[in-house]
Amino acid sequence: MRPDQQLHLAQLLKLQRERLDEVTAELARRGEPISELEARLLRDAGNARLSHIEDALRHDARQRLRRGNRTLAKLVARVRAWRKPRIGILRHYQAKPLQVPARYTRTAAPANAPKISIVTPSFEQGRFLDRTIYSVVTQNYPSLEYVVQDGGSTDNTVDVLRRFDRLLTGWTSEPDAGQADAINRGFARTNGEIMAWLNSDDLLLPGALAVVARYFAQHPDVDVVYGNRLMIDESDGQIGAWILPKHDDRALTLADYVPQETLFWRRRIWNAVGGFVDTEFKFAVDWDLLLRFRHAGAKIVHVPRFLGAFRVHADQKTFVDRTVGQAECELLRERVHGRSLTSDEILDGLHRYFARHVRVHNRQRFLDRLPIARIRVQTAPREPSLAKPAAEARRAALQVAQADLPAPVSPLAPPSDPSLQPSELEEGDAPSRSARQVGGR
């Protein structure tokens, strides 16, 4: 029986009780062969039986209706969630292992791979920097130019840089005027055809450089590419994803949803806009650069693949300098549109972009449920793979020092088995360099 039918039956029982009350009262008034006491007993007995049934029916029906309402509420909430834009939100779910499709590791760089120049600006981000560097150098891209520019950090940044010294094109740790200044200094030391910067708390995902290089090689008219992003927490757990639709030039003038850690461009467009990022900006550095690219006529394309991971943590600029960021974004909108825009104007202008985003985002959620082979992304550096030249030099020096010793060779001599050689990330192995700089911005 449906709950509404139960409630209807309960109402009929109530009416029947009221009718019984009227009959017994009428019998008592007429002096029929039934005493007032008997009438009251009859009425009370009937009420007890019928009211008990009525109450049971009502209680059960209300419980069923409540359960139905809760189910309906959950269904409505789920439908709303599927229709809600997710870009702009940095946490979508509880942390889970960071994974990508296994095919990402099988992407090969194109023949005659163009040189890619990457700069990592950093400041006081030593706790994340090794993971950032590791995500780049383990791309195994054949023509990589990688420079780390640190702002004179006082944490363990320099130790990290020394550990990775052999795998970097160069690094410097010296005072600078902020993130934009560090980026400019880093790029001044590069000459690659393709350029990008990766902040010292973010990651490149497996195969990212090969995908970007292949796309540029196959589309010589394209100046700028970017992809989708995953979000990670301080422990590298995946907490969300931004799935973006096809690039929308109009939407770019209203808000910046381009994931910076996935952004790559050709040096020709960089030179066309002056070859610098604007040091006047602290938060909207990448949006300013993109708008200048757009103004210069750049062809910008979104590649539907996860290229980078954005780290969400309490010390990042996104949280610390939110007021400054809002002011800079407003300044850029005024520069493009000639006036300040209201929130309603911005949202109205982004409505179609959001609708397309919701479609591709839901499609990705469906694909994530399919039994596709996936791999867990290795984020923590594996020490044996980074053995340093300094370790070789130290062993050679030890052999020279032992040259005058009689045979047999001292047990202190270095082992010949490569698997027993010292870890390449032992502290103090790297040769000293002049003061350098990088920033966890």
Q: What is the pLDDT of residue 422?
A: 31
Q: What is the pLDDT of residue 419?
A: 31
Q: Is the dihedral of CA 357, 360, 362, 368 positive or negative?
A: negative
> Which residues are CB-neighbours of 261 under 8 A, at least 6 positions away?
198, 199, 202, 203, 204, 229, 307, 308, 309, 310
Q: What is the pLDDT of residue 297?
A: 97
Rounded distance between C-alpha atoms, residue 253 and residue 349, angstroms? 10
Q: Is 317 helix (H, G, I), strand (E, B) or coil?
A: helix
Q: Given the structure tokens 């610098």, which residue do they identify?
A: 276
Q: What is the pLDDT of residue 368?
A: 87
Neighbouring-strand partners of residue 203: 309
Rounded distance between C-alpha atoms, residue 27 and residue 37, angstroms? 12
> Which residues are CB-neighbours of 260 under 8 A, at least 6 positions away?
197, 199, 202, 286, 310
Rounded distance between C-alpha atoms, residue 353 and residue 348, angstroms? 10
Q: What is the pLDDT of residue 71?
A: 66
Q: What is the pLDDT of residue 63?
A: 73
Q: What is the separation of C-alpha 8 from the centre of its chain, rounded to a whole number of angstroms?
A: 53
Region for 143 from its dihedrals, namely left if φ exceeds 0, alpha if ψ lies in -120 to 50, beta otherwise = beta
| DSSP of 148-205 | EEE---SSSHHHHHHHTGGG-SEEEE---SSHHHHHHHHHTT---SEEEE--TT-EEP
Amino acid at 63: Q
DSSP 438: B
> Which residues are CB-neighbours of 351 under 8 A, at least 6 positions away?
none
Closest CA to 225 of 161, 274, 298, 318: 298
DSSP 151: -
Q: Given the structure tokens 């009718």, which residue do they identify?
A: 19
Strands 144-150 vs 170-173: parallel, antiparallel or unpaired: parallel
Q: What is the pLDDT of residue 428?
A: 34
**Which pLDDT tens digits describe the chain residue by residue (441 residues)?**
666 665 666 666 676 666 666 666 666 666 555 555 555 555 555 555 566 666 666 777 677 767 766 666 665 555 565 567 788 888 999 999 999 999 999 999 999 999 999 999 999 999 999 999 999 999 999 999 999 999 999 999 999 999 999 999 999 999 999 999 999 999 999 999 999 999 999 999 999 999 999 999 999 999 999 999 999 999 999 999 999 999 999 999 999 999 999 999 999 999 999 999 999 999 999 999 999 999 999 999 999 999 999 999 887 655 546 678 889 999 999 999 999 999 999 999 999 999 999 999 999 988 888 899 999 999 999 865 564 444 444 344 444 344 433 333 333 333 333 332 333 333 333 333 333 333 345
What number does CATH give the domain 99-376?
3.90.550.10
Region for 186 from its dihedrals, namely left if φ exceeds 0, alpha if ψ lies in -120 to 50, beta otherwise = alpha
Domain definitions of the chain by residue range: 3-72, 99-376
Residue 26 has which token pair? 């009428």
Rounded distance between C-alpha atoms, residue 86 and residue 83, angstroms? 9
Closest CA to 258 of 209, 222, 213, 303: 303
